[in-house]
């Protein structure tokens, strides 16, 4: 989904959030497409972002056998 989708989500959350309600946004990504625009958006809107690190196939296979 593009950044416009998430901007709309945040807009709707702000519009419909009830008093006393806490909304948290968490996102998991591999980080390859996170631009400065995304970083600014995440920071401005309080998103928590997890970045997964994947290695070469031969490393992944070895790790699975441990």
Average the pLDDT over 10-22 and give the result. 97
User: 30, 54 in Cβ contact below 8 A?
Assistant: yes
Residue 1 has a pLDDT of 85
Q: How do residues 20-54 score in pLDDT, each as one tens digit?
A: 999 999 999 988 899 999 999 999 999 999 998 87
Distance from CA of residue 5 to its chain's centroid? 13
Q: In the predicted model, is pLDDT for residue 16 greater than 80?
A: yes
3-state DSSP percent of the chain in helix, strand and coil, to 5 = 45, 10, 40
Q: How do residues 54-66 score in pLDDT, each as one tens digit?
A: 777 776 665 555 5
Residue 60 has a pLDDT of 66
């Amino acid at each position: 989904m593009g950044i416009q989708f998430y901007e709309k989500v945040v807009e709707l959350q702000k519009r419909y959030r009830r008093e006393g309600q806490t909304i948290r946004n968490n996102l998991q990504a591999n980080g390859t497409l996170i631009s400065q625009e995304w970083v600014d958006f995440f920071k401005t809107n309080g998103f928590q972002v997890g970045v997964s690190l994947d290695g070469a196939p031969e490393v992944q296979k070895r790790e699975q056998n441990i």
